[in-house]
């Protein structure tokens, strides 16, 4: 069984993925962490050293490799993963299910204001530019995210409540 979690940066994919994997007693994998191990450097460094196009190619390759494995796992994607190449089609074809962790722009702005530094796509932005950037980005990305088998709105919900919703979807 492979459960794929997708959503924008800061939507809680890794936190929720770890809690869900613990409940299901299966492995958790973070696609960014997998790429970091393969490349031997942090994502932010990779963007600086090789650029975003290189990262997107490696991201697609890593996704295909992980989806081809037999193990049961909860997989948290990077925020952009579903939006490039054939990635979303690959997910729909090979994952047991996929869940889009949707959040409103204000909720994402609140989270990401405190977490900009380690995120290469937003590190250069002033706090007051975040809302416009995220809004434009979501306009482009939501059509991909919304192809997921399930959509959960995560605003103002605890990790436990979201994990519970996903558990109900799996029954």
Q: List residues binding ligand S3P (CB under 6 A).
A: 9, 13, 32, 43, 78-80, 119-121
Tokens of 89: 């089609």
Closest to ligand S3P by CB, 78 vs 154, is 78
Is 72 known to sit in a ligand binding site? no
Closest to ligand S3P by CB, 25 vs 139, is 139
Closest to ligand S3P by CB, 120 vs 131, is 120
Is 146 known to sit in a ligand binding site? no
Task: For the CB of residue 146, give the shortest distance to ligand S3P in the complex, in Å.
Answer: 16
Task: For the CB of residue 98, give the shortest distance to ligand S3P in the complex, in Å.
Answer: 15
Tokens of 33: 């962490």
Is 96 known to sit in a ligand binding site? no
Cα 147 to Cα 93: distance, rounded to the nearest angstrom = 12
Q: Are 27 and 103 in contact, with CB atoms under 8 Å apart?
A: no
Q: How far is CA 68 from CA 9, 62, 78, 91, in A?
A: 25, 10, 18, 10
Is 11 known to sit in a ligand binding site? yes
Closest to ligand S3P by CB, 36 vs 165, is 36
Q: Are 21 and 28 in contact, with CB atoms under 8 Å apart?
A: yes
Q: Which of 169, 115, 160 is nearest to 20 (CA)?
A: 160
Is 147 known to sit in a ligand binding site? no
Residue nearest to ligand S3P (CB): 78
Which three-class secondary structure state does DSSP give residue 142? helix
Task: For the CB of residue 135, give the shortest distance to ligand S3P in the complex, in Å.
Answer: 14
């Amino acid at each position: 069984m492979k459960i794929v979690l997708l959503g924008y940066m800061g939507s809680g994919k890794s936190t929720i993925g770890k809690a869900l994997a613990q409940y299901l007693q299966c492995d958790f994998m973070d696609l960014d962490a997998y790429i970091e191990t393969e490349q031997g450097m942090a994502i932010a460094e990779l963007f600086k050293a090789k650029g975003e196009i290189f990262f997107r190619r490696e991201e697609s390759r890593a996704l295909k490799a992980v989806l081809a494995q037999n193990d049961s796992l909860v997989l948290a994607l990077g925020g952009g993963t579903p939006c490039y190449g054939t990635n979303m089609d690959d997910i729909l074809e090979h994952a047991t299910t996929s869940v889009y962790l949707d959040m409103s722009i204000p909720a994402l702005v609140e989270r990401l204001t405190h977490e900009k530094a380690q995120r290469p796509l937003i590190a250069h932005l002033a706090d007051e530019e975040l809302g416009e950037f995220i809004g434009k980005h979501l306009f482009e990305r939501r059509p991909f995210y919304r192809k997921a088998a399930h959509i959960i709105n995560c605003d103002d919900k605890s990790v436990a409540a979201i994990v519970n919703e996903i558990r109900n979807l799996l029954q």
